[in-house]
Amino acid sequence: MGEAKRGKAAGSRVRALAAPGAPGALTKLVVPAGVAPPSAETALRAVSIAETVRTRVRERLLHGAATGRIDRMRAAIDAACGECVALFEDALRSSLVTNLEHRVAMDRVACRRGCAFCCYVDVVVTPLEAIRLAGRARPGGVATAPHRRPCSLLADGACTVYDRRPFACRSIFSEDARACEAGYAGVGAAPIPSLAWPRFLACGYITGQIAAMDDLGLASHLVELRRALAVMDEDATALWRWLDGADVFPRQNAP
């Protein structure tokens, strides 16, 4: 077995990450393609969330790296992502309690278990989210419609990592399942109508994760989930190299 398959030799230590001196305040949100610009009020809230997430994620990664152990580093990434998800779900619930408009809109949402048309598109995630899900991909997703290949984490029409699904998935709430089906079948060119506010909210968590990685000198650009998981599956040195500061994952729009 070659080095690429084996990963680093036993006894290798994870590089210690350096805490940044005084990182500048965030002024801009990372807004994935397809998310309309938020209102000024929502953007300010998301920036404030991003600063909190940035600090918490950075601290967890620093502690994980300080142990020098790759298993502890994986656990730190898992915990950092888990904390982000818990904060997001709390914020979502709180919004539904306090905002009648949001509650009414959520009641109209069409997403249901077993409906997985949205799991056949490219899913854009942070490197931390991809690393968290590494090793869970199922081999050889079969295309069920022209140009439609399932997410490698989809099985029997359901997400196999539902509790850990990335923000791109957990922040989408479709208002029209027929539009999702038409998009999947390639007969609908129109964007899928979906709730905007959960997606804005998610931008805060995504921006915070990216800022934490930037602070620590780690490659932070968004990646396409299937391709990032394939990199992690095929190359056991990928995580080590990423932690050394290498840009190991293809960019989301790379050919």
Residues at the interface with ligand SF4 (CB under 6 A): 119, 123, 151, 153-154, 159, 161, 165, 169
The closest alpha carbon to 109, from 171, 17, 151, 24, belongs to: 171
Whole-angstrom distance, CA of residue 59 vs CA of residue 104: 38
- Least distance from ligand SF4 to the Cβ atom of residue 40, Å: 30
Residue 123 vs 202, nearer CB to ligand SF4: 123
Residue 12 vs 253, nearer CB to ligand SF4: 253
- Least distance from ligand SF4 to the Cβ atom of residue 16, Å: 32
Residue 87 vs 161, nearer CB to ligand SF4: 161
Residue 46 vs 154, nearer CB to ligand SF4: 154
Q: Which residues contact 226 (CB under 8 A, 6 or more apart)?
A: 122, 123, 137, 141, 149, 151, 152
- Least distance from ligand SF4 to the Cβ atom of residue 159, Å: 3
Whole-angstrom distance, CA of residue 157 vs CA of residue 190: 24
- Least distance from ligand SF4 to the Cβ atom of residue 33, Å: 16
Residue 54 vs 165, nearer CB to ligand SF4: 165
DSSP conformation letters of 30-75: ---TTPPPPPHHHHHHHHHHHHHHHHHHHHHHHHHHHTT-HHHHHH
Cross-strand pairs, 145: 148
Question: What separation in angstroms does the CA of 154 have from each of 83, 247, 248?
Answer: 23, 27, 24
- Least distance from ligand SF4 to the Cβ atom of residue 169, Å: 3
Residue 15 vs 136, nearer CB to ligand SF4: 136
How many other C-beta atoms can be found within 10 angstroms of the C-beta atom of residue 184? 19
Are the beta carbons of 187 and 108 closer than 8 angstroms?
A: no
- Least distance from ligand SF4 to the Cβ atom of residue 246, Å: 25
